[in-house]
Chain A
């Protein structure tokens, strides 16, 4: 199994993501710099990590979403390669159009860094099938722009098609419909604000993120 973690100037969860993929998926994991337009063709999994790509200039994720590697990521998404975007990675996925909606400044203007309780809203996806239906997990968040917005039509389509993967039990940032993570139409692209890679070791204070990576292993095996 082969995975890539995409790095942008300002990414800061790239190393943690690599460790999580290696430890929980046993995948050979490369770090891929954004200005290299050619991604290896034999990747089984691509992760876009958290951080502050380009210093969040213009809008969070806006400039990274227009970088050279993104065309290859869009192509991989169309081929069905599983793609996970966490935090800034989620912002990059919405800015690139791979996921609908936008992530705006948190409702209360604060940067929020703490563990939050999440509801597994869809446990049928390739990323979430290791979790039991309707369970609650605790995963850290660390963001300023995680307030999910989509127009009513998009929101209804997400709800009706089981594309909301995770919701916040308490709406910490003002997201519509408490959305913490969503899937694309074909279910192979997941964007989420919480950081599963920061919850894979008892020393992290919790291991609720493990099942996300392990679900993928089962899918790819």
Chain B
């Protein structure tokens, strides 16, 4: 995945917590599939019937609970990226592990506008304007090459065993 192009779904409120993204009653599941129907289940007015694949939200998006069900629900509902001036730490980490691209920039976009996110150049392009964003180099590498972090950790087994032995 090098480039994502999609329409903006704009939810300009700050502090959209993971309880808003997916209420706790949908967490009584043992699988990660099918959570799209639960996305913003109690807050349908936030989306206002917009359709698109890039969520543009206010600051501190994804704060609160560590539930990975939040990025699972967004992905299942068709979202590929989240753009916000700031994205909460755990949500950002969870997003990257599932291929949902977290983009932290302070910019406003109109609902429905086409946005392109280029992971190689770390830029967002929209209506002839370009915005640079920063992404952790490792996260960027994993997103572009669809590398799974668990495989990376399993490959460190010898170092982990050596660490345990010397403690």
- The answer to whether A and B assemble together is no
